[in-house]
Amino acid sequence: MQALGIIFLVLGIVISVRKRKYLMMWRSQRPSNELAGALSQLVGTAGGIYLSLELLFSFLKIPENWWSDSIFFVEPLAVISLLLAILQPFILSAWLRLRN
């Protein structure tokens, strides 16, 4: 079950990076290496979401060990932030389509 989750996560990262590369094509100043730019954008977005969720949890005084007895081998909050960062370019594209 965990292997299937990892496969879906890697597939999501690949598709998200391809979408980010496509969205970066339309910028006025393109980076020299589009793959590196898209990957750094993905990691930066996931890191920002993770920090925001951590601050939200500490502000709301939600205990950090609520997932300590889980079967996951990674922190669920990090996975949630990575999934949100993977979905971000698709949501942005849908928002731009709806606006126009």
100 residues of the chain, pLDDT tens digit each: 677 877 888 888 888 888 888 877 766 666 677 788 888 888 999 999 999 998 998 898 887 776 666 666 778 888 889 999 999 888 988 998 898 8
Which tokens sit at 57? 């949890």
DSSP assignment of 22-85: HHHTTSSS--S-HHHHHHHHHHHHHHHHHHHHHHHHHHTT--GGGGTTSS-SS-HHHHHHHHHH
Q: Are 20 and 46 in contact, with CB atoms under 8 Å apart? A: no
pTM score, two decimals? 0.72
